A and B are shown apart, each in its own frame.
Chain A
Amino acid sequence: MDELIMKTAAELAAAVASGEVSAAEVTAAHLERIAAVDGQVRAFLHVAEDAAAQAEAIDGKRAAGEPLGPLAGVPVAVKDLFATVGMPTTCGSKILQGWLPPYESTVTRRLRDAGAVLIGKTNMDEFAMGSSTENSRFGPSRNPWDLGKVPGGSSGGSAAAVAAYEAPLALGTDTGGSIRQPAAVCGIVGTKPTYGGSSRYGVVAFASSLDTPGPFGRTVLDAALLHEAMSGHDPLDSTSIDAPVPPVVEAARHGDVAGLRIGVVTEFSGDGYQPGVMARFTEAVELLESLGAKVAEVSCPHFRYALPAYYLIAPSEASSNLARFDGMRYGLRAGSGSAEEVMAQTRAAGFGAEVKRRIILGTYALSSGYYDAYYGKAQQVRTLIIQDFDAAFGQVDVLVSPVTPTTAFRLGERVDDPMAMYLADLCTIPADLAGNAAISVPCGLADEDGLPAGLQVMAPPLADDRLYRVAAAVEAAFTRRWGHPLLAEAKGLKGLSSQ
């Protein structure tokens, strides 16, 4: 592999800033990598035609002595639900196929301002509904560790692109685990920031009270650099929090858990958890203890109701949000007859099975007669989950758990069993319902299949920096123990690079 694609985002930004390498060279190396391997990985739905021009513009600024942003010349892959001017935004759906947004999302605008090169748009489960990318209407992405396995989802294309060295950084969104679960099964780092810490303006809505844009990187520091660059208050998003961005980069540079109180969530173990995943999790907890953390078990009794509450709340919000896709103003228009008939035929043709399932489920949960028993009850459970977190964070500084109960599963394995697919989000959903910050950091390979497992760290809202302090300490200690980063063990990746 070209040595430029092996570098971290932090190294690339420093090399571009010092003039050691040009942004054009960095972008060219990554475009070459995409051309070489993406036929197999299928992480990208669209590669930016102007990527080279974006990079040349950065080099021009440097030559002119203008100030460069913190991500100057660093390629970033963008989940295909961020509105990007000049690049299609499909959300993995036929209903938006070919749509060119007339405006730019706040997050991608900030990344352009920070000097990042938006190198392309990545594959995802349609409307971010899924845990494998198999719900993409444009075919699934593959896990670079094993092309027969899923890369997780819904931000699976972004995770696969970073794991396959097609980009050092990528953007995702997390509604029920859609950043952390793919990060875990692809062996990279992914963060769900505090809800409202990153703007939803220009992000195609799935479940508005949960949707949170966040970063992917191969290292904890890289994820922090992207986290910081994309975050901050945005007047264009009324749920954006008007508070300073937590000092995540500083925290990532100073990993340390000495004296930190860490709670192990007792509810996240037992039946349904792959032994190899639990073994790596237990090892990570022992590691944290050996680094000076004070570890205790913490019970969060209502977490077992998080999954059912989520699968009422998120579909309810989706059934309302997706009403805008009606074939009248943009996107697909199909069928004939009255406007109402055209709407129904457009939506039938444009949406895939999982989206239809969730629209109907949400419509059911919100309908009179069922509202109190389903949506209303789920909202009360949400309160109880927040109370569980409040009680837990009264005793400990962060909570830890596995990210997802199993390693990457086989393509096709859960496609027609929605409940089995939903279980992938079991451990990640509580942080979404409570609006907390949470991260996934690699903690080793499961013995059964040699595939990566992730450690989840959860922190209270606006304490995102704690995640990076813990994750950086874990990453440094494991890298010392293994003698190399986890991705160096990805056999599938070696197969890719030799072709």
Chain B
Amino acid sequence: MSITRDEVAHLARLSRLALSDEELDHLAPQLDQIISAVAQVQEVAADGIPPTSHATGLTNVFRDDEPAPCLPPADALSGAPAVESQRFKVPRILAEEP
């Protein structure tokens, strides 16, 4: 067993996924199987091999900082679930004072 149901539940919380018990029951053994399979990468002797995060070899890409038009507020807000005073309206983000 490479990953337990409790670990999957913890990862789901970290990922902000409110999984049901049924989903956890279903996903945990599948993830266990997948992780056992992908762990094959650990067989590779890779000491001293540099990691590749990106294949192009590009490093930092700079451009001149020139003013240009950007998305008008109405367009930027056009897909918002809720809007108030030209802003994204969201549920409370801080708990009440105890």
Are B38's CB and A311's CB within 8 A?
Answer: yes
> What 1/0 flags go to A407-441 for Cβ under 8 Å of B?
00000000000110000000000000111000000
**Stretch with Cβ within 8 A of B (4 or more), from A43-51, A171-179, A221-229, A353-361:** A353-361
Query: CA separation between A108 and B4, bound complex, in Å?
Result: 44
Smallest distance from the beta carbon of B88 to chain A beta carbons, Å? 5
Contact partners of B38 in chain A: CB under 8 A: 308-309, 311-312, 361, 365, 374, 378
Known: A195-B56, A377-B44, A382-B51. A361 touches B17 (CB 8 A): no
The number of chain A residues touching the other chain, given as a range, is 35 or more
Chain A residues with CB below 8 A from B92, complex form: 338-339
Looking at B20, B23, B38, B71, the one whose CB has the most chain A CB atoms below 10 A away is B38
Question: Roughly how many angstroms separate A434 CA and B54 CA in the complex, as a whole number?
Answer: 8
B37 touches A308 (CB 8 A): yes
Q: A100-B79, A383-B50 are in contact. Are A374 and B41 (CB under 8 A)?
A: yes
A380 on interface, CB distance cutoff 8 Å: yes
Q: Which of A102, A360, A379 contacts B11 (CB 8 A)?
A: A360
- Choose among A100, A209, A235, A241 the residue that contacts B63 (Cβ–Cβ < 8 A): A235
Q: Tell me if A99 is interfacial: C-beta within 8 Å of chain B.
A: yes
CA distance A418 to B33 in the complex (A): 9
Docked complex Cα distance between A63 and B67 (Å): 38
Which residues does chain B contribute within 8 Å of A195, judged by CB atoms? 55-56
Which residue of chain A is the closest to B81 with respect to CB atoms?
A333
Asked whether any CB of chain A lies closer than 8 Å to the CB of B1, the reply is no
Chain B residues with Cβ under 8 A from A373's Cβ? 39, 42
Question: For the complex, is A135 an interface residue (Cβ under 8 Å from B)?
Answer: no
Size bin of chain B's contact surface: 35 or more
**Measured CA separation A361–B39 after assembly (Å):** 12
| Contacts between chains A and B (CB distance < 8 A), count | 180
Residues of B within 8 A of A378 (CB): 38, 41
Contact A363 B11, beta carbon cutoff 8 Å: yes
Find B15's partner among A311, A335, A363, A380 (CB 8 Å cutoff).
A363
Give the residues in chain B near A364, CB-CB below 8 Å.
3, 7, 11, 31, 35
Chain B residues near A365 (CB-CB < 8 A): 38
A287 CA to B93 CA in the complex, in Å? Answer: 65
Chain A residues positioned under 8 Å from B26 (CB to CB)? 353
Cβ–Cβ < 8 Å partners of B41 in chain A: 305, 308-309, 312, 374, 377-378, 381
A432 closest partner in B (C-beta) = B55
Q: Contact between A305 and B40 (Cβ–Cβ < 8 Å)?
A: yes
With a cutoff of 8 Å between Cβ atoms, the chain A residues found around residue B35 in the complex are 361, 364
**A482 CB-CB contact with B under 8 Å:** no
B53 contacts chain A at the CB level, 8 A cutoff: yes
Q: Provide the bound-state CA to CA distance between A419 and B38, in Å.
A: 10
Partner of A329, one of B13, B40, B88: B88
Q: Find out whether the CB atom of A379 lies under 8 angstroms from the CB atom of B55.
A: no
> Complex Cα distance A302/B91, Å?
49
Beyond A361-B34, A382-B51, whether A102 also contacts B79 by CB under 8 A is: yes
Q: How far is the CB of A210 from chain B (nearest CB, A)?
A: 8
Q: List 9 tightest A-B contacts by C-beta distance, closest first.
A: A435-B55, A330-B79, A379-B51, A333-B81, A380-B46, A102-B75, A344-B18, A348-B18, A382-B52
Q: What are 10 A-B residue pairs whose CB atoms fall within 8 Å in the complex?
A: A196-B56, A209-B55, A308-B39, A329-B79, A329-B80, A331-B79, A338-B95, A348-B19, A374-B41, A383-B51
Seen from chain A, the residues whose Cβ lies within 8 Å of a Cβ on chain B are 99-103, 195-196, 209, 235, 238-239, 241, 302, 305, 308-309, 311-312, 319, 323, 326-333, 335-345, 347-348, 351, 353, 356-357, 359-361, 363-365, 367, 373-374, 376-384, 386, 418-419, 433-435, 461
Given A308-B39, A330-B81, A376-B51, 16 new contacts (CB under 8 A) = A100-B79, A305-B40, A309-B38, A311-B34, A338-B92, A341-B18, A348-B19, A361-B35, A367-B11, A373-B39, A373-B42, A383-B51, A386-B55, A418-B33, A435-B55, A461-B55
